[in-house]
């Protein structure tokens, strides 16, 4: 097996951070890296000690959840809080940064932004990154998959297998059923 690239490694970290998100609209994670070392991480969620979207729903104004601090901002604020410099660092984020985060990223001295998914890529954010000399690059995870819906998929496969069992006598189908049981650890 081949080792994953540094870009994929840090992007996987961002996907892992996204699993901590408390926003029900979009789970985002961000990792700040300098010299191949993680210096901060963040996910989108409410202000510390505040009400979370998962508890009371999103607080939406003009199509945006205003309750949520974005993952990129949380990672940058973590650096500020603990006195960790971000000048010349790289940012790995699960989704292309919004316009406000774009400006914060530029102001913090981040030199490169790697993202896994396009998300409402604002044309002005793209222009600002170019003008500031901030490299943006899409990084896909080729070797690593983080599945947020394992339980739901397992139930669907189990239901399909149960229904197929009632209607089929095919040996090939039986073999597929046994393989699915192994993969999903079904009884």
pLDDT tens track, the chain, 187 positions: 678 899 999 999 999 999 999 998 899 999 999 999 999 999 999 999 999 999 999 999 998 889 999 999 999 999 999 999 999 999 999 999 999 999 999 999 999 999 999 999 999 999 999 999 999 999 987 655 556 566 677 777 777 777 776 666 667 677 777 777 777 666 6
**How many angstroms separate the CA atoms of 116 and 94, rounded?**
5
Choosing from 2, 72, 135, 179, which is the catalytic residue? 72
Does the annotation count 72 as an active-site position? yes
What pTM did the predictor assign? 0.77
């Amino acid at each position: 097996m081949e080792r994953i690239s540094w870009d994929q490694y840090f992007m996987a970290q961002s996907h892992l951070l996204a699993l901590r998100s408390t926003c029900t609209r979009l789970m985002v994670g961000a990792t700040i890296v300098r010299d191949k070392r993680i210096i901060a991480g963040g996910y989108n969620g409410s202000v510390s000690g505040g009400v979370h979207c998962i508890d009371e729903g999103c607080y939406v104004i003009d199509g945006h959840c205003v309750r949520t601090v974005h993952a990129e901002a949380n990672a940058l604020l973590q650096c500020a809080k603990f006195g960790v410099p971000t000048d010349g660092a790289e940012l790995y984020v699960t989704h292309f940064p919004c316009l406000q985060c774009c400006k914060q990223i530029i102001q913090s001295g981040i030199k490169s932004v790697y993202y896994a998914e396009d998300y409402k890529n604002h044309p002005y954010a793209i222009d600002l990154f170019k003008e500031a000399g901030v490299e943006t690059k899409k990084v896909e995870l080729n070797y690593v998959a983080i599945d947020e819906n394992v339980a739901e998929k397992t139930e669907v496969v189990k239901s399909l297998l149960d229904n197929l069992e009632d209607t089929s006598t095919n040996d090939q189908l039986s073999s597929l059923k046994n393989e699915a049981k192994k993969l999903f650890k079904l009884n």
